[in-house]
Amino acid sequence: MAQQTVTVEPSDPSGMPSSVRIRTPARIRAMRVSGRVLTYLILWLGSFVYAIPFLWMVRTSFMRLDKLFEEPPQIWPDPWIWQNYIDMWETGPFANWIVNSLILVALGMFGQTFISIFVAYGFARTQFPGRNQLFVLILATLMLPGHVTIVPKFIMFRTVGLLDSLWPVALPDLWGQAFYIFILRQFFLTLPVELDEAAEIDGANLLQVLFRVVIPLSKPAIATVAVFNFINKWNEFFEPFVFIQTPEKLTLAVGIRWFRTQYGTEFQMLMAASIVSVAPIVIVFFFAQKQFVRGIALTGIKS
C-alpha cells in the first residue's frame, strides 16, 4: 500500500518536494502502526465500558446484602454466595412467570413467524385484485406506533372479559407481523420463479410449492425472522404490563418490574432476577450470531 502511494506521487499535480517523497514510507508505516495501536486501545477500553455493567450485575448477584455498599467496593464477591438465587426464586412466582413468557413466545412465533411466511408468500407469488394496495397498507402499519391503539385494545378486551390474562397480549399476534412479512416477501422475491413453475408443471399446488420449494430455500431468512421474533416476544413489556395485573399471571419481564416495586433496595436479588431474564437472550445470541448480523444488515440495506 505504502509503496503504491509513493509511485503515484510524481504525477500528483500538487507536486510534493522530493525530500518528502523519500521520507514518506517510514512515516506512513509509523503512522499506521500507531493508528492500529490506538484502534485496539479504544476498542479494548470501549468493550470494557460496555461489558462492565453486565459483569457488575453478575458480581452483585453473588454478594451478601451487607457487603453491597462497602467502601471501597469489592471487586470480587467475598463471600461468594448462591443464596440470592434461592431467595429470589422463593420470593416471587418465577416459575409462573417463566411459563407465561414461554407460552407467549410460542404463540408469538407461531402467529408471527409461521403465519407471516404464508402472508409473505401470498404477496410474493400470487396475483389478485387489490394485492398491491394491501401491501402498501402493510408498510403503512410499520409506521404506526403501538401506543395509539393501546387504549382501545384495553377497552375491547375489558368488554369481552379477557383482561388480566395472557389473551390480550397473545391474540393480536396470531395474524402475522408487518415487518416480518415485509422481510420474508423481499427474500421470496429473490428466488427464481422458474423453480415454482417447474414444480407446478409437476402438478404441485401453491401450498406444495411453498413447503417443498420456497421454505427450504428460505431457511436463512426464516431463521433470522424467528430469532428476532423470539427476542422481541421474550422482552415484550408494554402490552403485558398494561393488560395483566395479578402477580402470578405476569410474564417474566413484567414480573421483574413487580419484583422491583416490592424489593427495590435488595439489589442482590434484583440482579439475580435480571440475570435469569437475560440468560435466554444471551444463549440465543451465542447460538445465532450469524442470524443477528445478517438480519440487521437486511434491515439496513432495504432502506
Partner 1 sequence: MTATDMASAPAPARRRRGILGWTWKETQGFLFILPWLFGFIVFIAGPFFFSFFLSFTQWRLVGDIKWLGFENYAQLLSGEDTRFVQSVYNTAYYVVFHVPGVLIISFIVAGLLNRKVKGIAIYRTCFYLPSITTGVATAVLWYWVLQPNGLLNNFLDIFLGPLDIQAPNWLGSTTWAMPGLIIMSFWSVGTTMIIYLAGLQGIPQHLYEAAEIDGAGWWGKVRHVTIPMMTPQIFLTMVLAVIGSFQVFTAALIITEGGPADATLFLLLYLYWNGFRFFKMGYASAIAWILFFVILFLTIVQFLTARRWVYYEGERAS
Q: Shortest distance, CB of residue 216 to partner 1, whole angstroms?
A: 18
Least Cα distance to 93 among 242, 250, 234 occurs for 250
- Interaction of residue 43 with partner 1, rule CB under 8 A: yes
Applying CB under 8 A, among 34, 47, 246, 262 the residue interacting with partner 1 is 47
**3-class secondary structure, 246:** coil
Find the binding residues for partner 1 in span 225-254 (CB under 8 A).
Answer: 231, 234-235, 237-238, 242, 253-254
Task: Determine, following the binding rule CB under 8 A, whether residue 80 of this chain makes contact with partner 1.
Answer: no
State yes or no: residue 12 binds partner 1 (CB under 8 A).
yes
Closest CA to 174 of 133, 132, 114: 114
Which one of the spans 67-75, 88-96, 191-199, 215-223 is the region binding partner 1 (CB under 8 A)? 67-75
d(CA 92, CA 98): 11
Taking CB under 8 A as the rule, does residue 130 contact partner 1?
yes
* Residue 161 to residue 165: CA distance in whole angstroms: 9
For position 57 contacting partner 1 by CB under 8 A, the verdict is: yes
Q: Which cell is 174 given? A: 396470531
Burial annotation 194-222 (CB, 10 A radius, 16+ → b, else e):
eebeebeeeebeeeebbeebbeebbeebb
Q: How far apart are CA 104 and CA 167, in angstroms?
A: 9
Using CB under 8 A, which of 6, 206, 223, 226 touches partner 1? Answer: 206
Name the residue nearer to partner 1 (CB basis): 22 or 297.
297
Question: Rule CB under 8 A: is residue 191 a binding residue for partner 1?
Answer: no
- Considering only the stretches 92-100, 102-110, 139-147, 217-225, report the one whose residues sit in contact with partner 1 under the rule CB under 8 A: 139-147
Residue 149 is a binding residue for partner 1 (CB under 8 A): yes
The rounded distance, in Å, linking the Cα atoms of 282 and 284 is 6
Query: Is 185:222 a contact under the CB 8 Å cutoff?
Result: no
105 near partner 1, rule: CB under 8 A: no
